[in-house]
């Protein structure tokens, strides 16, 4: 989803061919999920059959009118002007994502009391007695945020909460909270759409900082457009993340961690584990345990609280999944679990395990946003650390070991080259108090905690 301030919408939103009320046959409206009893909660959230997708102090929008579809059954949800209502995330993850936004707001409030610049000794004291150097941090101004479909609330929250306590205007919507505190809702504006809106944000000099979360391919385009106008960008892009389990690893931790990291959000996280390196002495046992664990995954309607695995986002994602499985086979891999589309409505695919590939196979070095886990054998620490680092992305990584010396080598300059370096926990997930982001083709940006706030401000020395 592309989010942009309402002011820009006047210039970039396409005028819909539908003027006034949208005329649709009664039969079409009756098939919308929003009109079905089991989805009555959608109307309780304030949604209607026809929804505006732009907020700049009031709801409106003149962009293209689209029908949004539920990935769990591919049935139409409602009609919206440039906005997507659903990505198919299971209930517990959806609730957790909203809670994360609440938590980062709480964190940001505390952080707002601690932002300050240092006072530095001046070399010119002899010429100017009493002179000192002071660093002053000021807001950049307008922060544009482009977020991906898989974390529409949390990723925006990381940017929004920190940017606002730094004094910036932001581009989404928490209007009720703002207006209750006598602030204009328009300082958190929203619009949703496609590449045309994102391009306008990247090129518009009024957007002082553009934060982009998405694929490396699109991120490169965004970075070039922003740099062309000497703007600031914050990039959080792809991840081809690895878990490494050594011979001394606790397998009762390795198996559930690999399972959660590989199939959580149906493999549609930037921190999803896509590569699993197992010491040759434990490889076969771990693969067998994983296959048994995969067989117990509860698949179904993502709004069912007992379900742990939902659909892929779109039909195109299903095609991409199938293409990656076939390519893995061509390159010498063996599908030991899954690999097929499920025989049920919606965009469901089987969580998949592939063994037998070379660590540097082309498909292994390609980030496929789907639940495919490539498993490898390794012999020693030196080679597997190198394999972890040989992909272009550098987001998240994990090792499982009891060797303290190895842990510190993993954390050091000859260890993982990723932005997130874990020990005995999965690659997925992050704590709001730490800076979230990665290196290399992941973009180098940092969001949420630590000193990530500095990216939303400009520094003056006086």
Cα dihedral value 128, 130, 131, 135, nearest 10: 180
447: enclosing H helix or E strand? strand 447-448
Return the biggest CA–CA distance within the chain.
85
Which sequence positions are flagged as catalytic? 236, 270
Residue tagged 């969580």 (tokens): 351
Closest CA to 370 of 411, 317, 429: 317
State the pairing for strand pair 54-55/190-191.
antiparallel
Report in angstroms the alpha-carbon separations of 133 from 124, 136, 140, 322, 460.
10, 10, 21, 60, 10
Length of the chain: 462
How far is it, in rounded angstroms, from Cα 406 to Cα 243? 15
How far is it, in rounded angstroms, from Cα 458 to Cα 112? 16
Tokens of 349: 């695919």
Report in angstroms the alpha-carbon separations of 109 from 164, 165, 168, 172.
10, 7, 14, 19
User: HSE on the CB side for 352, CA within 13 Å?
Assistant: 30
How far is it, in rounded angstroms, from Cα 166 to Cα 160? 10
* Ramachandran bin of 385, using left for φ above 0, alpha for ψ from -120 to 50, beta for the remaining angles: alpha
User: What number of other Cβ atoms are within 10 A of residue 372's Cβ?
Assistant: 27
- Provide DSSP, 259-299: HHHHHGGGG-STT-EEEEEEETTTHHHHHHHHHHHHTT--B
User: What number of other Cβ atoms are within 10 A of residue 75's Cβ?
Assistant: 15
Residue tagged 């089987």 (tokens): 350
């Amino acid at each position: 989803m592309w989010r942009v301030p309402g002011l820009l919408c006047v210039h970039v939103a396409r005028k819909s061919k539908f003027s006034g009320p949208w005329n649709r046959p009664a039969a079409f409206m009756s098939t919308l999920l929003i009109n079905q009893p089991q989805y009555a909660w959608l109307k309780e959230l304030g949604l209607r059959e026809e929804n505006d997708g732009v907020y700049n102090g009031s709801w409106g929008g003149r962009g293209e009118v689209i029908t949004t579809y539920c990935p769990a059954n591919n049935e139409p949800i409602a009609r919206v002007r440039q906005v997507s209502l659903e990505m198919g995330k299971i209930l517990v993850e959806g609730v957790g994502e909203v809670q994360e936004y609440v938590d980062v707001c709480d964190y940001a409030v505390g952080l707002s009391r601690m932002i300050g610049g240092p006072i530095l000794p001046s070399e010119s004291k002899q010429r100017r007695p009493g002179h000192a150097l002071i660093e002053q941090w000021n807001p950049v101004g307008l922060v544009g945020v482009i977020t991906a479909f898989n974390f529409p609330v949390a990723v925006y929250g990381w940017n929004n909460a920190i940017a606002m306590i730094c004094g910036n205007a932001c581009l989404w919507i928490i209007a009720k909270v703002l207006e209750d505190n006598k602030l204009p809702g328009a300082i958190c504006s929203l619009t949703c759409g496609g590449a045309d809106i994102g391009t306008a944000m990247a090129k518009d000099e009024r957007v002082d900082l553009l934060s982009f979360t998405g694929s490396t391919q699109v991120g490169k385009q965004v970075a070039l457009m922003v740099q062309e106008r000497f703007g600031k960008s914050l990039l959080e892009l792809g991840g081809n993340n690895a878990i490494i389990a050594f011979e001394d690893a606790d397998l009762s931790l390795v198996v559930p961690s690999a399972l959660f990291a590989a199939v959580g959000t149906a493999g549609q996280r930037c921190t999803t584990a896509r590569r699993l390196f197992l010491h040759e002495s434990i490889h076969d046992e771990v693969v067998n345990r994983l296959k048994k664990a995969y067989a117990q995954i509860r698949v179904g309607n993502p709004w069912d609280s007992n379900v742990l695995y939902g659909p892929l986002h779109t039909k195109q994602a299903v095609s991409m999944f199938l293409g990656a499985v076939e390519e893995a086979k061509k390159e010498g891999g063996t599908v030991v679990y899954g690999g097929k589309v499920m025989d049920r409505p919606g965009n469901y695919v089987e969580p998949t395990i592939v063994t037998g590939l070379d660590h540097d196979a082309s498909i292994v070095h390609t980030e496929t946003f789907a639940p495919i886990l490539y498993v490898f054998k390794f012999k020693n620490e030196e080679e597997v650390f190198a394999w972890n680092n040989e992909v272009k992305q550098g987001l998240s990584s994990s090792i499982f070991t009891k060797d303290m010396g190895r842990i510190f080598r993993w954390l050091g300059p000859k260890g993982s080259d990723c932005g997130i370096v874990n020990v005995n926990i999965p690659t997925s997930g992050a704590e709001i108090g730490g800076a979230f982001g990665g290196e290399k083709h992941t973009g180098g940006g940092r969001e949420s905690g630590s000193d990530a706030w500095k990216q939303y401000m400009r520094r003056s020395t006086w």
